[in-house]
C-alpha cells in the first residue's frame, strides 16, 4: 500500500510540473518550490484554494511534529538509555523530551531563517543518500531471491559514497543524484549478490 501511495504521489508531482510548464513561462518563478501554491491561487476559487493551502500546511506541520518526536525518542531511548546506560525516572524523561524538542525546534528555525537553500540541500542529500539507497535494497529484498547480505551492504555503501561524490561535483547540475544514486546502488547490489551469494542453510537429515 505504501508503494502505491508513493507512486501516486510522484505521478502527481510530475503532472504538476508538466502543467506548470504549459501554463507559465520559463523563469516566471524565482523559487520553483512555490509553483504549487501559485497554481492553487491562480486556478482555484478562493475558498477551495484556502482549503488546499491549509491541507498543505497541515501536512508540513504533522511531518515536522513527527520528526521532532523521532529526535526526542532517539536521544532519550537510543543515546541516554541504551548507549550511555543512564536510568531516568518518568518525570526526568518528560523534562528531557521537552528540552530536546525545544532545542531541536530552535535549531531548525534558525537554519530555516538563515539560509534559503540549506534545507533543500539537506533534503536532497537525505533523499539521494538514504531514500535512493535503501529503495533498491528494499525492492530487491522482496522481489529477488538471490539478493545476498553482501549485496545489501554493497548497495548501502555504494549509494552513500556515490551520493557524496556526485553532489560534491558539478555532475549534480547535469543529472540529479536523487535519480542516479538509485541505479548505481542497485547495480552494485546486483553485482555483489552474484559474486558473493548467501550460503544455503543445510537442512537437518531425517533420522
d(CA 97, CA 72): 6
By the 10 Å C-beta count (0-12 exposed, 13-18 middle, 19+ buried), 53 is classed as: middle
* pLDDT per position as a tens digit, 159-177: 888 888 887 777 777 777 7
CA distances from 162 to 61, 106, 124, 191 (A): 32, 32, 14, 16
Predicted TM-score (pTM) of this structure:
0.56
C-alpha cell at 71: 529526535
* pLDDT per position as a tens digit, 22-80: 888 877 777 777 888 888 888 889 899 899 999 988 988 888 888 888 888 888 887 88
**Domain locations in the chain as residue ranges:** 32-114, 116-197
d(CA 207, CA 113): 71
CB 181 within 8 A of CB 137: no
Amino acid at each position: 500500500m505504501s508503494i502505491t501511495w508513493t507512486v501516486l504521489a510522484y505521478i502527481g508531482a510530475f503532472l504538476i510540473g508538466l502543467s506548470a510548464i504549459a501554463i507559465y513561462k520559463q523563469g516566471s518563478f524565482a523559487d520553483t518550490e512555490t509553483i504549487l501554491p501559485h497554481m492553487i491561487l491562480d486556478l482555484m476559487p478562493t475558498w477551495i484554494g484556502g482549503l488546499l493551502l491549509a491541507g498543505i500546511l497541515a501536512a508540513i506541520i504533522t511531518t515536522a511534529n513527527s520528526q521532532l518526536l523521532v529526535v526526542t525518542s532517539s536521544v532519550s531511548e537510543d543515546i541516554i538509555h541504551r548507549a550511555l546506560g543512564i536510568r531516568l525516572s518518568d518525570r526526568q524523561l518528560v523534562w528531557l523530551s521537552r528540552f530536546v524538542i525545544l532545542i531541536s525546534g530552535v535549531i531548525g528555525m534558525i537554519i530555516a531563517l538563515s539560509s534559503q537553500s540549506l534545507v533543500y540541500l539537506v533534503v536532497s542529500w537525505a533523499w539521494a543518500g538514504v531514500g535512493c539507497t535503501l529503495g533498491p535494497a528494499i525492492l530487491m529484498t522482496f522481489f529477488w531471491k538471490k539478493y545476498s547480505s553482501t549485496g545489501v551492504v554493497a548497495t548501502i555503501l555504494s549509494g552513500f559514497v556515490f551520493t557524496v561524490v556526485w553532489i560534491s561535483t558539478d555532475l549534480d547540475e547535469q543529472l540529479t543524484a536523487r535519480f542516479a544514486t538509485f541505479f548505481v546502488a542497485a547495480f552494485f547490489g546486483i553485482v555483489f549478490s552474484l559474486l558473493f551469494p548467501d550460503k544455503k542453510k543445510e537442512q537437518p537429515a531425517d533420522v
